[in-house]
Structure 1
Amino acid sequence: MSVVEKEVKTKTPLIEIKNLSKSFTIGGQELKAVNNISLSIQPGETVGLVGESGCGKSTLGKTVIRLHRATSGEVLFEGENILSLPEKPMKKFRKEMQIIFQDPYASLNPRMTVEELIGEPLSIHKIVTGKAKKDRIKELILQVGLKPEHLQRYPHEFSGGQRQRIGIARSLALNPKFIVCDEPISALDVSIQAQVVNLLKQLQQELGLTYLFIAHDLSMVKYISDRILVMYLGNMMELADSETLSREPLHPYTQALMSAVPIPDPEVKRERIVLEGEVPSPLNPPSGCVFRTRCIHAMDICTKQVPNWKEVKNGHFTACHLYN
């Protein structure tokens, strides 16, 4: 049993997500982007979040830290429901929860220098001023592998990987405990992705950070995550520790995702599971199990009844009628 697995069993969760839902109104219709998600994240843990584009991953991450207003449910940060807090008392929790955005081109103001970008959170929250502020900014830029001479440059003068390092430095400015990594590597070259992920792992060890890591690349998610949650059309499909989910996926959707992960060994053969059809519109999701229209194991009950979220094995949960 790993250190994190022991901590999961003994520590109070840093984040508890309870029956969280987020809907948008589009053309008079309700779109359920996130539907009844429940998840606990322990201090120092990395939970990976995977699924096809449009499944609600980023919406969930932004709703957890209140960049989106939840439609219903609770998010407990160290036991306090932050979704019910007015803006003023919420400000102190903003320091504890940060986000690294997907696009380092769009998330940095092109008119601000690196020093101004990293220092902005410190000014808003009035953490430090003057020389102490400059020293803190210099410390942060060194921490992410850049140099003090970069501080007077503008975002367009950097590569994509360097820009994402600036975004990471900005997210660390307030000494947060929890960071939502919203697809932080998807806009980067493959050669740079591993560098950024290794930096995130290093910072987690040094600073005791807790991550919700959102990505499409399952091999990278497995590498960085302690546990992985699989989402489809706003719903939870499966949750397990990363090794178990990779070795023994239970849900047909997870099995299809895992079958697409390349194996770096030409002697090992894996049957590719190709999902038929398109992802249904979230404006008009299928009745019963939302995955049934693409599932080779679909049964009559899948049309009529939403599968229960069930612990099939120790710490391994899934929502599938094959196991209900």
Structure 2
Amino acid sequence: MVEKNKALVEVKHVKKYFSIQKRPLKAVDDINLLINKGETVGLVGESGCGKSTAGKTIIRLLEPTAGEVYFEGKNIYEYNSREMKELRKDVQIIFQDPYASLNPRMKIEDIIGEPLDIHQVVKGKKRKDRVKELLELVGLRPEHANRFPHEFSGGQRQRIGIARALALNPKFIVCDEPISALDVSIQAQIVNLLKSLQDKMDLTYLFIAHDLSMVKYISDRILVMYLGNMVELSDSESLYDDPLHPYTKALLSAVPIPDPVVKRDRIVLEGEVPSPLSPPSGCVFRTRCKYAMERCATEVPQWKEVKPSHFTACHLYDS
């Protein structure tokens, strides 16, 4: 049984800036998040809003510009290389492109077994047995171990990527848009597999995606990002039934409803997404928001709890 409501990952004021022609590109600008053991937190937003960069920075695949991330109470940003290698046993990632993330010259047995070799967990027959066990765990056959990545479909390749991420029995996995490169018919299979594995292995997920309907299905809570900033956070039901931020409302208005009787007014955002090299002053969403006021241009909205466990950053909710 998964023990929920116990903090596994705590993200504090994490920032990730890139230098472009000596100017800071604020890909991730002050992210704060608590992820409890056994839960799935969805991270959503338009392409280019900083979702994947946030996920990779949280687990230190990208070095942060500022902030702290605590895993089981310890700040991993203070870890040396030896400590980070040990951490990789507990923290893994599933990448977006299931073909680009697999070495085309390696057989599946070696791709899945590579983490076992690096950490010297098992060797010989035990290694072969572990690889076969992992293949069966993700719905593939043991004989697939002797094939190469190009011999598999996209969905099968993603299952191989999941098997590799599970090789060391991790506790926390960042799922970096694991279904966006797959056919719609395969996406549900992969999401159902992730949910099943979570129950079997007591896993905790940060699930990054832009498909809001799929995020609702798999996530306990959802964080919405815009231009590197947090704009709303709540449990899945509250976010879908009663979104607070104008950006969240616009995103949800585009989600198809599988009921011809129910109608939803489409909210079309005006203008282009601003460049993260020169984000708008005050509220970063104000240039596309129909509710924008004068203060939105001069004051950064504060992150606040508008309803129980439902947070947003918007001047519309200032008391």
TM range (shorter): over 0.9
Q: Cα offset for 1:7?
A: 3.3
Q: Cα offset for 1:177?
A: 0.2
**One-letter code of the match for 1:159?**
S
Q: Which string of whole-angstrom CA distances, capped at 9 and with x for unpartnered residues, describes residues 63-101 of structure 1?
A: 011100000000000000001111112211111000000
- Partner Cα distance (1:262, 1:244) in 2: 18
**Secondary structure of the structure 2 residue equivalent to 1:14:** strand
Structure 1 counterpart of 2:9, from 15, 19, 22: 15
- Partner Cα distance (2:149, 2:308) in 1: 47
Structure 1 counterpart of 2:36, from 12, 31, 42: 42
Structure 1 counterpart of 2:303, from 301, 304, 309: 309
Structure 2 counterpart of 1:93, from 87, 94, 97: 87
- Partner Cα distance (1:236, 1:89) in 2: 30
- Partner Cα distance (1:143, 1:7) in 2: 23
Q: Give the alignment of 1:105-144 within 5 angstroms.
A: 105-144=99-138
**One-letter code of the match for 2:222?**
I
Q: Which string of whole-angstrom CA distances, capped at 9 and with x for unpartnered residues, describes residues 38-62 of structure 1?
A: 0000000000000000000000000
Q: Cα offset for 1:170?
A: 0.1
- Partner Cα distance (2:16, 2:251) in 1: 25
**Secondary structure of the structure 1 residue equivalent to 2:317:** coil
Q: Cα offset for 1:139?
A: 0.4
- Partner Cα distance (1:90, 1:200) in 2: 25
- Partner Cα distance (2:107, 2:180) in 1: 24
Matched, 1:179 2:179: no
Matched, 1:150 2:144: yes
**One-letter code of the match for 2:4?**
E
Matched, 1:281 2:284: no
Bigger drift between 240-249 and 85-94 goes to 85-94
- Partner Cα distance (2:4, 2:99) in 1: 37
- Partner Cα distance (2:45, 2:83) in 1: 34
Structure 1 counterpart of 2:195, from 201, 215, 239: 201
**One-letter code of the match for 2:212?**
L
- Partner Cα distance (1:173, 1:191) in 2: 27
Give 4+ residue runs of structure 1 displaced > 2 Å after superposition.
none
Q: Give the alignment of 1:185-224 within 5 angstroms.
A: 185-224=179-218
- Partner Cα distance (1:157, 1:27) in 2: 42
Q: TM-score, normalised by structure 1?
A: 0.97
Other-structure match for 1:246: 240
Q: TM-score, normalised by structure 2?
A: 0.98
Q: Identity of paired residues, percent? A: 72
Unaligned 5+ segments in structure 1 are none
Aligned residues: 318
Q: Which string of whole-angstrom CA distances, capped at 9 and with x for unpartnered residues, describes residues 114-152 of structure 1?
A: 000000000000011111111111100000000011000
**One-letter code of the match for 2:92?**
Q
Other-structure match for 1:52: 46
Structure 2 counterpart of 1:226, from 198, 206, 220: 220
**One-letter code of the match for 1:124?**
I
**Secondary structure of the structure 1 residue equivalent to 2:267:** coil
Unaligned 5+ segments in structure 2 are none
